[in-house]
Chains A and B, each alone.
Chain A
Amino acid sequence: MTISIDFVRKRAEADAKTYGYYLTPQPDLLQMFLEGLKTNEERYGYPSCPCRLATGNLEIDRDIICPCDYRDPDVAQYGACYCRLYVNKTVYETQNLPEVPERRPSEKISRAYNLPVPTEAAPQQTQGAPEKPQLERPKSVVKKKLWYCKQCGYVVFREDPPYVCPICKAKREMFAEIETKIEYSG
């Protein structure tokens, strides 16, 4: 798959405009970011964060697909995302790029790199299914749920609710899980 830099640039510009952000003010840095995104999209099929190590497993990498889950809270707190591709108006105008620490939770980093997690729960066995011998450490499974924004009704099917509602900007606390019940008959 070949993707043009122009396509990546326009998509990022459109996203910045929609959310009221700016792209990094230094043209040479911006070019490098866009090239990194292009490389990752060609490599993995999705534009994962150029500043983080992706796994190639979409479900595991979902939170670091640019714009990542952490961009909105990072721009709100530091004025820029982790990479400093997306910045706010002040950072854009002063060109003073802040240091932004990694917000991605260590559990997700451990899971992505298949590192031992001390509190990792054993995967649930389906009732009645024969127990297969575990030959290697079981990989964590990404369990998706339905979440809705209590403020505007936006619904998302993800592991975790967003930090900020993309529609009405409500905070994560405004999201609640939609309880689903599947009944099998016959």
Chain B
Amino acid sequence: MQFSKVPGKKNDHKVIVYALSTCVWCKLTKQFLNENNVEYEFVDVDLLQDKEKSEVHRTILDKGGSLSYPTTIVDDKTVITGFRKDQLKEALGI
């Protein structure tokens, strides 16, 4: 699965964003990470093949998330559903 990597000065956490290309709150999540110079990887799930979509669903559910977008996973353990600035700030220490 092809993740897009967005470089940033703040790279002490592994941040993965599962997004939809059409979703406003996904765009705002990416924008928030950009503004805070956080390094992250994202994938727009609606643009994936069905097999890859299933992989994403499994990953999100395995981590205890729900199938809503955006889903942000920090350091493979903290799952943030939706664009939640407060939770992102806490998880990323910003």
A binding-site residues for B, Cβ under 8 Å: 29, 32-33, 35-37, 39-40, 50-54, 83, 99, 102, 109, 113-115
B53–A50 contact, CB under 8 A?
Answer: no
B21–A113 contact, CB under 8 A?
Answer: no
Among A32, A33, A113, the residue within 8 A (CB) of B57 is A113
Q: Is B49 an interface residue (CB 8 A)?
A: no
Q: How far is the CA of A114 from the CA of B53 in the complex (A)?
A: 11
Contacts of A53 in B (CB 8 A): 20, 45-46, 53, 67, 69
Supplied contacts A50-B22, A53-B53, A109-B67, 6 more A-B pairs, CB within 8 Å: A33-B24, A39-B21, A40-B22, A52-B68, A54-B46, A102-B68
B27 to chain A: closest residue by CB: A32
Q: How far is the CA of A15 from the CA of B54 in the complex (A)?
A: 34
Q: For the side of the interface on B, what is the size category?
A: 10 to 19
**A54, chain B: closest CB distance, angstroms:** 8
A39–B57 contact, CB under 8 A?
Answer: no
Contacts of A99 in B (CB 8 A): 82, 84
**B64, chain A: closest CB distance, angstroms:** 14
B binding-site residues for A, Cβ under 8 Å: 20-25, 27, 45-46, 53-54, 57, 61, 66-69, 82, 84
Contacts of A40 in B (CB 8 A): 22
A51–B67 contact, CB under 8 A?
Answer: no
Given A29-B24, A32-B27, A115-B57, A52:B66 Cβ within 8 A? no
Contacts of B25 in A (CB 8 A): 51, 83
